[in-house]
Structure 1
Amino acid sequence: MKTPVFAIDVGYGNTKSAYRAASGTVATDMFPSLAPLAATRSLSGYGDAVLTSRKVATVTLDRIEYEVGPDVSLTAAYGKTGRALADDYVLTNNYAALLFGAIHFAGVTHIERLVLGLPVHNLKKYSDLLKERFAGDMDFGCGHVTVDKVVVLPQPLGSLISASSSRGKAFNPNDEHLVVDVGYFTTDWVYAKGFAMDDTRSGGMPGGASQIYQRIASLISRDEGDDVEGIELIDKALREHTTFRFYGKEIDLAPYLERAEPVIAGVVLAIQNNVGKMPNLRSIILSGGGAALYAAVLRRAFPRLVIEMIGSPCVANVGGFLIAGEAGLARERRAA
């Protein structure tokens, strides 16, 4: 299947994708950003359908097979889930496997414009490398794909575009907004007037949701007298508002989240130091999979400002990437 624009946000926590379906509606998908080594054998699907097959794909890179997809396991022996938390994440095979997995599950074989995002602090460093690596004809073991061109955007810009699109004519290009995108490993912020980004008041840093989960894990480890390695399950429990099971004990995570607030406060203080006072700001737009974790601390830090939680914060960036990619392709076609 050929598509004009395909947007992917390969986050540290989840991989999100968006494209325009034949009906004209926007199709989105999301699965955990885990790329463990593929098993050498599989028992699922056997036993007269008692064991069901998982929705995963095997991606081959440098003759190594990785497993990616919605049903990839959230736990593994000794915590080796295939999660990569590193500043050079976009250069890893894990990143490439997740990107190719998103394309595979969408059934896309030809992309005119592939739109990707990068944390603000890594944009200049890795943008050209992404454009070079993922353009052209590629075969990743479970399918062949052709990408004509790669476009790279700062991640929070996707949320700003999504917010403006949802407002329609109510979006004023003269309004100033601060977009705070709380990812799994990094927190990024963009100060913008309309769609014009103020580089001096925009930035990013390691310090996303995973650091909160790690802090909660260390607190539980201290209380229970045993190591907690499953931060993916802590993430799942917080998102679904359920308890965290540890050796048969159901643990309420709310008190632990309160005790982890100093981790959040440190990142929010860095944002305050960068943006300064913002008396002319229309609103702070809070986005990303960890947005709900930061909301209370941000409200205390900026008590006089309006803080808006964007709708569907997990896929806000990739939805904005799609809109930006479609607008850019339309301009190129008109110019041609």
Structure 2
Amino acid sequence: MSESIQINEVAEDQAEHKAMHRTGVAARLAGLPVETLRVWERRYALSETERSAHGQRLYSAEQVRRLGLLKQLVDQGHPIGVLAGLPMRQLEEMTVSQALPEEDTGRMMRVALLGESIIRRLAAGGRDSLGLVVRASCTQLAQAETVLQDADADLLLVELSELDDSAVPRIVAARRACSAVAVVVLYRFCASATIRHLRAQGCLVARVPPELGELLLLCRAALANARPPLRERRPVPAPPRPRRFSDEALLALAGAANSVDCECPRHLADILMTVGSFERYSAQCASRNEPDAQLHQALQLAAGQAMAILEDAMERLARAEGLPLTPA
């Protein structure tokens, strides 16, 4: 009975090793935009891939893993033109050598775990042998911010089989809650856009590794390259520009215009009040992101410049018509 189980397990391992993925799937599993993978293949002939009956490239699990290592090293600053010709073992050694400074390799990593799968895998695989000290763990993403609060972890380790954009703010909140310096996010299926969003927040994102030893390398690499997440930066609103005419003064000029033949003071006063209102609105308008905030600041500046020109015109017009000038 035990022999038949072993035979089945070997067959399953061989089937998994021989599993072939088309270019789009291979790119997604490796965390690459499919366009990037196609450019790399065209320029550097990365993989001796098999071809389908229709001539499409087919990648094995080992080739996908190599693509993931290439992506990780390129993200660390290595040129793809140099990496493309290196054997798998050398790519793995480069990943290890850049993981942590020598003086830190023996340090126990304090981790917070998020995801039922990673909790079970580490419990079964011997987390102590990996040098991991689990400070807190949570199985549900929705509860992570509360459960992981004050865990005081070095690293947040997340494993979610399917990832989409809705997970990004919750992972960021969980990181903040447990005070983690770095984040490793593992997935099985995830859109390229979501991977980019997570990386923009300083997360190391990778497909679930088959062995715990590879997981340790990812953790070390994340700590070695830890950087704070991008924060929304908005330009400081410009201080209010001093007004030369208050709304009351403009209303007085508009009323005085009724006693003269020229209607221009009334029309110009109305324009000034409208532009002034828009200037104030632009300074206070809520912005969705940094480019949006910069746009509103530019609108505020443009309205202020227009106000200065129109105020000059109003002063000149009022003097020409003999209208009372009351400064703001």
Q: TM-score range by the shorter chain?
A: under 0.3
Higher relative contact order (CA 8 A, sep 6+): 1
**Computing the radius of gyration over CA atoms, which structure comes out larger, 1 or 2?**
2
Provide TM-score, normalisation by structure 1: 0.25
Q: Structure 1 or 2: larger strand share?
A: 1
Provide TM-score, normalisation by structure 2: 0.25
Q: Structure 1 or 2: larger helix share?
A: 2
